Chain A
């Protein structure tokens, strides 16, 4: 068999313009109106970023924006945590890759070297750019060393994970490894709060870590409630429904305020949990309700025949759910789930406002009151910077979710 190559189509710039911008009269009119407008907007943005923007305020307060008043002496703990997560992420990526190679579903196998590099650049380019930008604004070596450490740990983890995935480990060893990996975040948490209690986690660090905690905690709760709504037992079904309807009916901000203010009416201040803990609890409760609805939709999208076939081969009700229905349900609603997590990530700034937590947005507004910067309208700069960091995080999550979706083959079954 001879391989036929697709005929290479060459387009001249004129053809491209015609096809993409001036295909019909309406297209032409729209182009003529919108092109100058967007060019002007671009010009304004570029001028702000490169010419008129006064970024010293961000430069001077970078540490405050990122980690608030985290003691300098304990910054190393954050570095260690980030490096450890880099390593962990690398291992997971390596394991996933090895598994896909084993099953012959790894997409990178069909990629040329150039395509692989492009793929990596597309995935990590924005993050890399952001990190370099932040490093350029720092004056100490700590952050740079940390960043290099994270990259090295990530690559090392990827290699180790790839090797582990190829070995046929005996089951007990594999279980121990998985438990070790699962317990790492908790160990790191204790390592961190040992030096700096949760109540003093501030800046972007608060937004990031409380969002992560909320996401991890709300996931099992949301899934359980979604399953509860399909229960045969009226009590469980009723409670799940009431939970969802109650929580969804209350504004998020009001829930946060209640956790901040009203809790003290019911619980003595001495035993009431600290504000970040309350914030995380509210994140969890709130997002779980929305997640439950999303997952419920996913459960409904799995054809009845799947459950019947699973029951017919003798699987227990638990296995039917955990092995057959739930995996397909969760897979079918990945975009909606990630969308909810992105919302939570962004909404963490509301906790800052409602509960007087010194989160990144609060820092961004507080630093404009410093004597060197007061009264100069620099809030535009600090908020732009804040928005940019959140956008990078949210956009990365969104991209990775699309990738995950493609990998798991949603819609191509």
Chain B
């Protein structure tokens, strides 16, 4: 194991059993190219941390995976389903991918339990009682079962983000996408959210995490992906990144944030 800990990968696609595959994905906003030739595969139960400077396309990349953004060229396959115009395929992929946003985006007009049970009831067709039972189990997992009947506005940021994680998990997704889940949190609340994410990773969840939390990357990431200007610049184990980064842009970025 030790020799592989410090591994650098020539490309980001050398994975056996990929759950997510991105092949030559391009994305334009008008004339501006936000993603250039992105190639990435994420294996089952793998945790991939994405880092990179602001505007490098990290959010855009993971938002393409569940079609919050539409990619312009290339192929995206999630759990064997290729993303296309087909609304059925899109819905199926969204069912398999949970997403956690920087701004939580909880539904403010619904109680915590309703936030979590809404999609299972509407999309998975669960009866109310069962959906609520599952929701309570998830709230236990994110360690706030006592907040079930409150409204999002009555919770702290850290609690809100944990509800958001529970809401995403309620669809029993194959993959979880995190877009800077702790960036909007006060420092004292970051830990509680990262702990929940670490639990998830240990439980075998496949995860793509955009974050600036380097300790999280060091601790749980199987691979780290560094992006800059819409491209994947370097891929490696956390060890590799923190001891022996190859590219100049990576070194510059790491020197700025570490």
A contact set with B: CB distance below 8 Å = 103-104, 303, 305-306, 308-316, 319, 323-324, 327-328, 331, 408-409, 412-413
Q: A103-B149, A312-B94, A413-B108 are in contact. Are A319 and B122 (CB under 8 A)?
A: yes
When distances are taken between beta carbons in the complex, the residues of chain A under 8 Å from B123 are 313-316
When distances are taken between beta carbons in the complex, the residues of chain B under 8 Å from A327 are 109
- Contact pick for B122, options A315, A408, A409, CB 8 Å: A315
B133 at the A interface (CB under 8 A): no
- Contact pick for A331, options B98, B109, B167, B171, CB 8 Å: B109
B68 at the A interface (CB under 8 A): yes
Q: Across the interface, do B171 and A314 meet the contact criterion of CB distance under 8 Å?
A: yes
- In the complex the two chains form, what is the Cα distance from A312 to B167 in whole Å? 10
**Closest chain B residue, CB of each to CB of A324:** B107
B33 at the A interface (CB under 8 A): no
Most buried by B among A104, A311, A319: A311
B91 at the A interface (CB under 8 A): yes
Q: Across the interface, do B91 and A314 meet the contact criterion of CB distance under 8 Å?
A: yes
Q: A314-B91, A323-B122 are in contact. Are A309 and B149 (CB under 8 A)?
A: no
Q: Across the interface, do A308 and B91 meet the contact criterion of CB distance under 8 Å?
A: no
Q: Across the interface, do B118 and A313 meet the contact criterion of CB distance under 8 Å?
A: yes
A309-B107, A313-B94, A408-B109 given; name 12 further pairs at CB < 8 Å: A308-B68, A308-B105, A309-B164, A310-B107, A313-B119, A313-B171, A315-B122, A319-B122, A331-B109, A409-B153, A413-B108, A413-B153
- In the complex the two chains form, what is the Cα distance from A213 to B123 in whole Å? 36
- In the complex the two chains form, what is the Cα distance from A327 to B118 in whole Å? 14
- In the complex the two chains form, what is the Cα distance from A409 to B153 in whole Å? 10
- In the complex the two chains form, what is the Cα distance from A310 to B94 in whole Å? 10
When distances are taken between beta carbons in the complex, the residues of chain A under 8 Å from B216 are none
Closest chain A CB from B117 CB (angstroms): 11
B229 at the A interface (CB under 8 A): no
B contact set with A: CB distance below 8 Å = 66-68, 91, 94-95, 97-99, 101, 103, 105-109, 111, 118-119, 122-123, 149, 151-153, 164, 167-168, 170-171
When distances are taken between beta carbons in the complex, the residues of chain B under 8 Å from A316 are 91, 122-123
- In the complex the two chains form, what is the Cα distance from A315 to B120 in whole Å? 9
Closest chain B CB from A102 CB (angstroms): 9
Tell me whether chain A's interface is mostly helix, strand or loop, or mixed: helix
When distances are taken between beta carbons in the complex, the residues of chain A under 8 Å from B108 are 328, 413
**Closest chain B residue, CB of each to CB of A309:** B105
- In the complex the two chains form, what is the Cα distance from A331 to B110 in whole Å? 13
Closest chain B CB from A303 CB (angstroms): 8
- In the complex the two chains form, what is the Cα distance from A309 to B171 in whole Å? 13
Q: Which 7 A-B pairs have the closest CB atoms?
A: A309-B105, A313-B119, A305-B105, A312-B99, A314-B94, A413-B153, A413-B108
Q: Across the interface, do A305 and B101 meet the contact criterion of CB distance under 8 Å?
A: yes
Closest chain A CB from B103 CB (angstroms): 5
Q: Across the interface, do B109 and A328 meet the contact criterion of CB distance under 8 Å?
A: yes
- In the complex the two chains form, what is the Cα distance from A395 to B67 in whole Å? 48
Q: A103-B111, A103-B149, A308-B68 are in contact. Are A313 and B167 (CB under 8 A)?
A: yes
**Closest chain A residue, CB of each to CB of B67:** A311
When distances are taken between beta carbons in the complex, the residues of chain A under 8 Å from B101 are 305, 308-309
- In the complex the two chains form, what is the Cα distance from A104 to B168 in whole Å? 26
Most buried by B among A312, A315, A327, A408: A312
- In the complex the two chains form, what is the Cα distance from A331 to B107 in whole Å? 13
Closest chain A CB from B184 CB (angstroms): 11
When distances are taken between beta carbons in the complex, the residues of chain B under 8 Å from A319 are 122
Q: A308-B68, A327-B109, A413-B108 are in contact. Are A314 and B119 (CB under 8 A)?
A: yes
When distances are taken between beta carbons in the complex, the residues of chain A under 8 Å from B170 are 313
When distances are taken between beta carbons in the complex, the residues of chain B under 8 Å from A413 are 108-109, 151-153
- In the complex the two chains form, what is the Cα distance from A32 to B164 in whole Å? 59
When distances are taken between beta carbons in the complex, the residues of chain A under 8 Å from B153 are 409, 412-413
**Closest chain A residue, CB of each to CB of B93:** A314
16 A–B contacts, CB within 8 A, in A order: A308-B105, A312-B98, A313-B118, A313-B119, A313-B123, A314-B123, A314-B171, A315-B118, A315-B123, A316-B123, A323-B122, A327-B109, A328-B107, A409-B151, A413-B108, A413-B152
When distances are taken between beta carbons in the complex, the residues of chain A under 8 Å from B95 are 314
- Contact pick for B68, options A103, A311, A331, CB 8 Å: A311
- In the complex the two chains form, what is the Cα distance from A413 to B110 in whole Å? 11
When distances are taken between beta carbons in the complex, the residues of chain A under 8 Å from B151 are 409, 413
Q: Across the interface, do A312 and B149 meet the contact criterion of CB distance under 8 Å?
A: no
